[in-house]
Amino acid sequence: MKKMTHLKSATLDSIEAIVVDIEATFTTGMPSFSIVGRGNLEIQESKDRVKSSLLMNEFKFPPKKITINLSPSEVIKKGSHLDASIALLIALHDKNVNFEDFFVFGELGLDGSLKDTSSIFLLILSLAKHGKIKNVLIPKESIEKISMIPNITIFAVENLAEAIEFFTTKDEETKSKYTIENRSYLYPSICIDGVDYFYDKRYNLDFRDVKGQKIAKRAALISVAGNHNILFEGSPGCGKSMITKRMRYTMPPMSLEEILEKAKTEVLGGADADFRPIRTFHSPHHTSTKGSILGGSKIGIISLSNNGAMFFDELPHFSKDIIEALREPLEDHVILVSRVNTKVKYDAKFLFIGAMNPCPCGNLLSKTKECRCNELEINRYKNRLSDPFLDRIDLIVTMGEVNSEDKGDIDSETIHSLVLEAFVRQKQRGQKELNGKLSELDIEKYCILDDQLQTILDRAIAQFSLSFRAINKVLKVARTIADIEKSDHIKKEHLFEALSYRRR
C-alpha cells in the first residue's frame, strides 16, 4: 500500500471557512475511485472532471483502488473548488511532494484548465482573517480578488499541468513565475496607531444639490460622523431620500479588514466584489419579505449591511414583524437566524436610516396642501412604530417644506472632511467603536458630563421621561457633536443640541 498523502483546502460553514484535510490512499484491488467524508453532489461529480482532466493531459490514471477522504467527516463539504486538490493527489501519488502549509483551490475544466468559483475568495479571506493560511495555489482567474488579501503568499496557475509543474520543480526561477504579488491599495488613507483607514473623495451624489433643510443636513452629518441611527419625518418631496442617498459617500473611512469584509458579504449576496472604500448601502422595499431582510436559508439584507448603512423608506409601511425584529440588531449589533437543526449568528453593526411621512396622506406638516387624514388614521399610522423601537433611534428630525429661496449651503466634500476629523478624534481616544455603537462601560469612559451639565440632563430626564437607553443615546450624540466641533469635552450647547433630536 502506498503511503497516504495529504493536501489542504476548505469549505464554507455558513459564512466562515472550515479547513478540509484531503487524504488519498492507493491500494491493490479492483480499480475504483471513491470520495468519502460527506461531500455534496458537486464534489461527487468532481470524479468525472478529475478523470477527464488527467486523461486529456496524458496522465495515466492509476489502476488502483483510489479512496479520497475529506476530513473532518462530520462537516458537509460543498463546492467544486476541491477539484484541483483531488486531481493533484492522484497525479502526484508516486512522487515525493511536500504539500505542507499549502492550500489549493480551483474547479477543473474537462481539458484540465483551472477555473475560479464564487466561494474561493470567501474561503481564503476567512482563513486569512483567522491566521490559518500562509501559502495558496489558485486559478489565474482568481488573482484580481485574492491579491487584495494581505499576509498570504499567492501562487497562480492556468491549468492542472502548471500546478503539477509548480509542485514538482526544484528550479526556483520556474516556481517564481507563478508567484503573485499582493496588490497595494492606492486610495488616500489616514494612519492611526499603525492602522490605515481608507476613503474615497469622489461623490456620485453631492449634498450641494440639497436645497435648504439645514437642520436635517446637520443631523445627517452627526449621524454619519458617529454612526448614529436616524429617522427623517417630513412631507413627500422635502428631501428625505435625497439626503439619505448622499450620506453613504460621506461615511467614515474603512480599514482594509472592513473593505475585505464588505467584498465578502457582497459575494455572499450574489454581487461582484467591490474593493472601493465606500461603505455598503441597502434599501429594501417595504414589500420585502421578512426572510429576505432578516435572513433564512440565505443571508439577509441586515447582515449584508454590516459595517454599512440600511435605509427603510416609508418606514411605517414595513411589516410590524420586521420593524420589531430590528430591535435586536439595533441594540446588540448581531442577528440570530434559525435554520434547520442549527442557529447562525451574523454581525449586524450598521447605520439605520428611516424615513416617513407625518401622516398617511403626507400633508400634515404642509403649509400649502390640506391633510386628508383624520386623527384616528394619523394615530394608527404613527403607532406602527413602537416606543421600544423608536427608543433605539438616536436622532429624529422633522423636516419642513422646501421653498424657492432655499439654497445648497454645504457640499459633500465639506461634510466628509468634518466626518474624517471626528473619526480621527474618536480613534485617537482609543475607541474601538464609533460613538453611536459605544457600550455602557465606554459611555462612562468617554461621555463625561460636569456637574452643571448633569443637572441639565437630570431636568431633561424628568421633563421628557427619558429611558435609560434614551439617556445613553443623548450622551453619545452629544459626544459626536463635541467631536465635530473639535472639543475635548461635552459642552452645554452640545448637550442641548443632542436633546433637541429626541422624540417629544
- Per 3-state DSSP, the chain is made up of helix, strand and coil in percentages (nearest 5) of 40, 20, 40
pLDDT at 1: 45
The string of DSSP letters for 366-416 reads -SSS-----HHHHHHHHTTS-HHHHTT-SEEEEE----TT------HHHHH
Each domain of the chain, given as residue ranges in start order, spans: 5-180, 192-428, 438-504
Q: What is the DSSP letter of 253?
A: P
Torsion of CA 415, 416, 422, 428, to 10 degrees: -170
Mind listing the pLDDT tens digit for each residue in 442-456?
999 999 999 999 999
Measure Cα distances from 200 to 27, 251, 266, 407, 425 in Å. 58, 10, 19, 26, 19
Q: Which CATH number fits domain 5-180: 3.30.230.10, 3.40.630.10, 3.30.1490.440, 3.40.640.10?
A: 3.30.230.10
192-428: same fold as 5-180?
no
What distance in Å separates the CA atoms of residue 288 and residue 353, rounded to the nearest whole number?
17
Q: Which fold has domain 192-428?
A: Rossmann fold (3.40.50)
What distance in Å separates the CA atoms of residue 176 and residue 360, rounded to the nearest whole number?
67
Mind listing the pLDDT tens digit for each residue in 51-106?
999 988 888 888 889 999 999 998 999 999 999 999 999 999 888 888 888 999 99
Residue numbers of the chain with a pLDDT score lower than 50: 1
pTM for the full predicted model: 0.88
Q: Which fold has domain 438-504?
A: Helicase, Ruva Protein; domain 3 (1.10.8)
Tell me the helices (H) and strands (E) count for the chain, helix number first.
20, 20
- Answer yes or no: are the C-beta atoms of 123 and 10 closer than 8 Å: yes
pLDDT at 340: 65
